[in-house]
Amino acid sequence: MKKATIKSPPVARIALVQLMVLLVVVLALLPVDRVLCWSLLIGGVIQIGPQAYFTRQTFRYMGARQTPKIIRAIYRGETGKLLLTVVLFGLTFSYVSPVSLPGVFLGYGAMIIVQCFCAARILSQSSN
């Protein structure tokens, strides 16, 4: 079997960078407000975990001959990502108390922004 000519992007690194950024922010704010920090951490993990699942599913297959498997993996990954996100938000709002709702959504949104910056950086490096 021939190897794919296009390398798989280093997408796992994005999740690690997100986790590092999240932990630095949470640790820096810990003396200020523990509930906010806990909420930021939860919101960030709610974004990072399902996105990592989607990424793992999406990049399992490489090459033009694998296209049908790639398409199925993308659909499976997106479905799993959405379900995981809904379940994690539901569990958070049902079982975590006290929780800062703005903190949860701020952590979630901030990790989306970090993900976009990391992906843009990887894409710009690969085009050089």
Whether residue 78 is contained in a domain is answered as yes
Report whether pLDDT(5) > 70: no
Q: What is the pLDDT of residues 43-98, one digit of tens each?
A: 999 999 999 999 989 888 877 788 899 999 999 999 999 999 999 999 999 999 99
Q: How many residues does the chain have?
A: 128
- C-alpha 94/C-alpha 6 separation (Å) is 44
Whether residue 7 is contained in a domain is answered as no
Whether residue 6 is contained in a domain is answered as no
Distance of CA 77 to the CA centre of its chain: 12
Q: Which residues of 54-89 are buried (b: 16+ CB within 10 A; e: fewer)?
A: bbebbbebeeeeeeeebeebeeebeeebeebbeebb
Whether residue 114 is contained in a domain is answered as yes
Whether residue 5 is contained in a domain is answered as no
User: The whole model's pTM is what?
Assistant: 0.87
- C-alpha 73/C-alpha 122 separation (Å) is 22
Whether residue 50 is contained in a domain is answered as yes
The domain in which residue 47 lies consists of 12-120
Whether residue 104 is contained in a domain is answered as yes
Structural domains in the chain (count): 1
Close Cβ partners of 50 (under 8 Å, ≥ 6 residues apart): 80, 81, 82, 84, 85, 88
Whether residue 127 is contained in a domain is answered as no
Phi, psi of 4 (to 5 degrees): -65, 140
